[in-house]
Structure 1
Amino acid sequence: MRLRALLDTDALGLRLLGGESELDRTVRGVMTTDLRDPSRYLSGGELVLTGLAWRRGAEDSEPFVRILTGAGVAALAAGEAELGAVPDDLVEACARHRLPLFSVNESVAFATITEHVVRQVSGERAGDLAAVVDRHRRLMTPGPGGGGPDAVLDLLRSDLDLRAWVLSPTGRAIAGSNNGGPASAPDVRARLAAEHLAAVRTGRRGPYRVTVGTTTYSLFPVRSSGHRPTTATGPGAAGSRDVRETVLSDWLLAVEADAGDWPDERLDLLHGVTQLIAVERDRRDAARTVRRRLAQEVLELVQAGAAPAEIAARLRVAAPVLLPGLGVAPHWQVVVAGVEWEGGDVEGGPVAQALLEEILVDPLSAGPEPSDRIAVAHTGTEAIALVPLPSVATQHDDGGTSHALKAMGDEAGLAAESLLEAVREPLSAGLADDGRLTVGVSAAVHSAEGLRGALEEARHARRVAAARPGRVCAAGHQELASHVLLLPFVPDDVRRAFTARLLDPLRDYDRRHRAELIPTLEAFLDCDGSWTRCATRLHLHVNTLRYRIGRIEQLTGRDLSRLEDKLDFFLALRMS
Structure 2
Amino acid sequence: MLLQDVLDDAELGIRVLHGDRAMLDRPVLRTCTTDMPDPTRYVSAGSLVFSGLVWHKSAEDSDLFVKHLARMGVTALAAGEALLGAVPDDVVAACIRHRLPLVSVPADMPFSRIIERLTARMSGARMDRLQNGLARQRRLLEAVADGRSIDDLLARTASEFGADAWLLTATGVCLVGDEHLDEDTVDHLVESALTAERLPHTTGDYTVLSVGAGLRDRASSWLLVVRHTGPGRADCLDAFGELAAVAALDRVRRDERRRSTWDTCDATGVVAGAATAFDASRRLVTVVARRVPVHPRAGVVTTDRLHSLRAVLCDALPGSVSALDGDRVVLTVAGENTDVGMLLRRRLSRIVPASEGTGLRIGVSATCTLGSLAGAIATATALAADDGDLPEPVSVRVAAMDSAAELFSAVPDRLRHDFARRVLGPVLDHDLSNDGGLLPTLEVFLACSGSWRRTADRIHVHLNTVRYRIGKVEKLTGRDLSRLDDKLDVYLALRSLHMQQS
| TM-score normalised to structure 2 length | 0.52
| Matching of residue 344 in structure 1 with residue 264 in structure 2 | no
- Structure-1 separation of matches of 2:198 and 2:186: 16
Within-5 A mapping of 1:155-554: 155-177=156-178, 179=179, 184-185=180-181, 188=182, 190-211=183-204, 216-222=205-211, 224=212, 227=213, 229-230=214-215, 242=216, 246-257=217-228, 264-299=234-269, 315=272, 319-320=275-276, 322-323=277-278, 334-341=286-293, 342=295, 343-345=297-299, 347=302, 348-361=305-318, 371=319, 374-378=320-324, 381-387=327-333, 405=334, 408=335, 414-415=336-337, 417-432=338-353, 434-442=357-365, 444=368, 446=370, 454-464=376-386, 467-478=389-400, 481=403, 498=409, 504=415
- Structure-2 separation of matches of 1:483 and 1:119: 71
Contact 1:502–1:569 at 8 Å: present in 2 too? no
Q: Figure out how many residues of one structure are paired with residues of the other and give that number.
A: 324
Contact 1:248–1:351 at 8 Å: present in 2 too? yes
Change (3 A) 1:574 1:437: closer
Question: Shift in Å at residue 334 of structure 1?
Answer: 3.7
Residue type matched to 1:205 in 2? Answer: R
3-state DSSP of counterpart to 2:172: coil
Change (3 A) 1:194 1:115: closer
3-state DSSP of counterpart to 1:206: coil
Contact 1:350–1:380 at 8 Å: present in 2 too? no
3-state DSSP of counterpart to 2:292: strand
Question: Shift in Å at residue 132 of structure 1?
Answer: 0.9
| Matching of residue 131 in structure 1 with residue 135 in structure 2 | yes
Question: Shift in Å at residue 173 of structure 1?
Answer: 2.1
**Which residue number in structure 2 is paired with residue 537 of structure 1?**
none
- Structure-2 separation of matches of 1:37 and 1:499: 76
Residue type matched to 2:140 in 1? Answer: H
Within-5 A mapping of 1:59-70: none
- Structure-1 separation of matches of 2:389 and 2:220: 25
**Which residue number in structure 2 is paired with residue 519 of structure 1?**
none
| TM-score normalised to structure 1 length | 0.46
Question: Shift in Å at residue 206 of structure 1?
Answer: 2.9
- Structure-1 separation of matches of 2:390 and 2:249: 39
- Structure-1 separation of matches of 2:132 and 2:152: 19
Contact 1:436–1:472 at 8 Å: present in 2 too? yes
3-state DSSP of counterpart to 2:383: helix
Contact 2:365–2:399 at 8 Å: present in 1 too? yes
3-state DSSP of counterpart to 1:174: strand
Change (3 A) 1:354 1:568: farther
**Which residue number in structure 1 is paired with residue 450 of structure 2?**
none
Which is higher, the Rg of structure 1 or of structure 2? 1
- Structure-1 separation of matches of 2:184 and 2:409: 39
- Structure-1 separation of matches of 2:349 and 2:317: 17
- Structure-2 separation of matches of 1:502 and 1:337: 22
Contact 1:339–1:436 at 8 Å: present in 2 too? yes
Question: Shift in Å at residue 507 of structure 1?
Answer: 7.3
- Structure-2 separation of matches of 1:375 and 1:569: 33
- Structure-2 separation of matches of 1:330 and 1:111: 66
- Structure-2 separation of matches of 1:193 and 1:200: 11
Question: Shift in Å at residue 271 of structure 1?
Answer: 1.7
Residue type matched to 1:438 in 2? Answer: R
Change (3 A) 1:201 1:157: closer
Runs of 5+ in structure 1 lacking a partner? 1-28, 39-108, 231-241, 303-310, 362-370, 388-404, 409-413, 485-494, 512-563
3-state DSSP of counterpart to 1:166: strand
**Which residue number in structure 2 is paired with residue 572 of structure 1?**
492
- Structure-2 separation of matches of 1:332 and 1:110: 65
**Which residue number in structure 1 is paired with residue 431 of structure 2?**
none
Question: Shift in Å at residue 255 of structure 1?
Answer: 1.9
- Structure-2 separation of matches of 1:318 and 1:176: 29
CA RMSD of aligned residues (A): 4.8
Question: Shift in Å at residue 272 of structure 1?
Answer: 1.6
Change (3 A) 1:468 1:202: same
Question: Shift in Å at residue 355 of structure 1?
Answer: 1.6
- Percent identity, aligned pairs only, is 19
Within-5 A mapping of 1:116-127: 119=123, 122-127=126-131
- Structure-1 separation of matches of 2:13 and 2:119: 24
